[in-house]
Every structure is written in structure tokens, then in C-alpha cells.
């Protein structure tokens, strides 16, 4: 209705004005004529102003509605962009992990395959993880789990599609080890904190020394980083040194890892079977 009045106001007002003008012309009364004009002219102005005001409010309202609609669209696009940003960040992290794994595989002669951590022990202090690979993927007991930066643990139980891994921080975990700098022998023992056992009393070890796997024992391959010495003290027995060690690999944020195919372990298992026959 307002749009109709705005578009056709001249068509409505002009005939009406001519009609009034004709009436007063016929009456030929100058005073009445000018009085009518003086009355009618403000009315026309009022109508015009009211129409303009209503038109202004109407288009202002339409503008606000359109603005709110645009804001909703923009907010949705912003959320979509944030989701895309998070997706790109995850892809970047996965790509970085894959690069590190590929570099590791190129630099070692031991064959390995990737696995994902799908569950961690119920306790917040649990040192056990479960991976999504089992016998169907060629995983067997005592295979070693690693990251490019160091040893993670070893497989202790296997099913068709899952495996349980004791981390090197597990209390039941122990690895024959050596001090990288001095070549002194010891045993890396899991715990909180991890310890070095049977370290020679006169060994020249220091805080910050790196501990490597020795390769002895037929399970853990030699030369892989295990941890860094945090503290050294002399044992009261006078035979060994005690040392606290922090694992090199970040075991608190495990998502992906590599399972090493230990050919020596497979041969040992085969020899055990043959000797039992």
C-alpha cells in the first residue's frame, strides 16, 4: 500500500487539486481560492513528509533485516573457515609425523610397519597402550615399538587385530642398555621415575648423558635412544651407582608408532620350537 501511494501520489494529488481549483474558480472568490490553497498546500506537504518517513522506516527495516541475514551468513562462513583451519592443522601434523617415520625407515635397516594407538590403560598413570595391529598384520609377541626419537616399548600380548604394548616406563619393563658417552653397561628399568640398575660404581656418568639400548637380550635392537640421565648418586652398598632417567620419546602423547620386525626374535622363537620337538 505504501509503495502504491509513493509511486502514484502525483496521479492522486493532481486530479484532486484540479477538482478543488475548479470548484473555487467557478465560485470566483479570490479569498476562498487562496484560503483553499493555503490549507491544501500544507496537507500535501504533510502527506508527502509522512510518506517519506514511512518509506524511510520501511527501507531501514528491510536494510536491518538484510544486514542480520548477511551477518548470519558471515558467521557461518567464519565457523566453516575455523573448521577448515583445524583440519589443515591436523593434516600438517600428520604430514610431519609421516615425514619423520619415512626418514626413520630410510635410515635403519630394520623393517617396520606403522600402527595407531587406540586405547590406553584405564589408570591415568597406566604405562600400557593398545595398538590396532595384531597377528593378522604380522605382529608377534616381543616386537618393539618405537618413535623416530627413541624406543617406546614392546609387545606383550597379541590377538588377531590388536596388540598390547608395555611402555619402557612400565614397572615390569627392563632393557639392557649402555651409556652412549662412556659405553658403560647397565639395565634401564621402568618406573616413576625410570632407573638405571647395575651401573658400575666407578662409571664416569653425568647428568644429561644419553642411554641407548645395547642390543643384548634378543628383543630390543641396539643403538636406539632410551633416555637421558637426570640424577646420579652412589648406592649405599658401594657396588653400583643409582641414576634417575627420563625417556627420550614423548610417551604421554602417543598417537602413531612403528613396530619393528625383529628377524632375530623370529629366529629365536623358531629355535625354541625346534628344541622342544
pLDDT tens for 34-90 read 454 444 455 455 556 666 666 665 555 555 666 666 677 777 777 766 665 555 555
Does residue 223 or residue 23 have the better pLDDT?
223
Domain presence at residue 61: yes
Distance CA 93, CA 218 (A): 34
Domain presence at residue 150: no
> Cell digits for 103?
626418514
**CA-only gyration radius of the chain, Å:** 43
CB neighbour burial string for 202-220, b if at least 16 within 10 angstroms, e if fewer? ebebeeebbbbbbbeeebb
Domain presence at residue 33: yes
What domain range is 80 assigned to? 1-107
Residue 9 clears pLDDT 60, i.e. is over it? no
Residue 178 near residue 202, CB atoms below 8 Å: no
In the chain, where does DSSP find H-type helix? Answer: 2-27, 30-106, 263-276
Domain presence at residue 184: no
Domain presence at residue 35: yes
pTM for this entry? 0.61
Domain presence at residue 206: no
Domain presence at residue 135: no
pLDDT of residue 75: 74
Residue 229 near residue 243, CB atoms below 8 Å: yes
pLDDT of residue 30: 47
- pLDDT-derived band at 207 (thresholds 50, 70, 90) equals very high
Domain presence at residue 17: yes
Distance CA 229, CA 205 (A): 9
pLDDT of residue 113: 84
- The domain total for the chain is 1
- Within its chain, how far is the Cα of 262 from the centroid? 32
| Three-state SS at 160 | coil
| Paired residues of 207 in beta bridges | none
Amino acid at each position: 500500500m505504501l509503495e502504491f501511494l509513493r509511486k502514484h501520489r502525483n496521479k492522486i494529488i493532481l486530479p484532486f487539486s484540479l477538482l478543488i481549483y475548479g470548484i473555487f474558480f467557478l465560485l470566483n472568490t479570490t479569498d476562498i481560492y487562496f484560503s483553499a490553497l493555503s490549507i491544501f498546500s500544507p496537507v500535501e506537504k504533510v502527506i508527502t513528509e509522512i510518506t517519506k518517513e514511512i518509506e524511510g522506516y520501511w527501507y531501514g527495516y528491510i536494510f536491518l533485516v538484510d544486514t542480520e541475514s548477511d551477518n548470519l551468513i558471515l558467521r557461518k562462513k567464519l565457523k566453516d573457515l575455523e573448521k577448515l583451519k583445524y583440519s589443515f592443522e591436523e593434516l600438517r601434523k600428520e604430514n610431519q609425523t609421516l615425514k619423520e617415520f619415512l626418514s626413520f625407515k630410510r635410515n635403519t635397516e630394520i623393517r617396520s610397519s606403522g600402527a595407531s594407538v587406540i586405547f590406553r590403560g584405564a589408570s591415568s598413570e597406566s604405562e600400557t597402550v593398545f595398538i590396532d595391529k595384531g597377528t593378522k598384520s604380522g605382529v608377534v609377541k616381543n616386537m618393539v615399538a618405537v618413535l623416530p626419537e627413541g624406543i617406546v616399548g614392546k609387545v606383550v600380548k597379541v590377538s588377531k587385530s590388536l596388540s598390547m604394548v608395555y611402555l619402557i616406563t612400565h614397572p615390569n619393563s627392563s632393557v639392557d642398555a649402555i651409556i652412549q658417552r662412556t659405553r658403560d653397561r647397565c639395565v634401564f628399568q621402568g618406573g616413576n621415575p625410570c632407573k638405571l640398575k647395575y651401573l658400575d660404581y666407578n662409571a664416569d656418568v653425568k647428568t644429561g648423558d644419553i642411554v641407548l639400548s645395547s642390543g643384548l637380550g634378543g628383543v630390543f635392537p641396539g643403538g636406539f635412544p632410551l633416555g637421558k640421565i637426570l640424577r646420579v648418586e652412589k648406592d649405599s652398598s658401594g657396588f653400583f651407582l643409582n641414576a634417575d632417567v627420563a625417556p627420550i620419546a614423548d610417551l604421554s602423547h602417543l598417537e602413531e608408532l612403528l613396530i619393528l620386525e625383529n628377524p632375530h626374535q623370529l629366529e629365536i622363537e623358531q629355535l625354541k620350537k625346534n628344541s622342544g620337538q
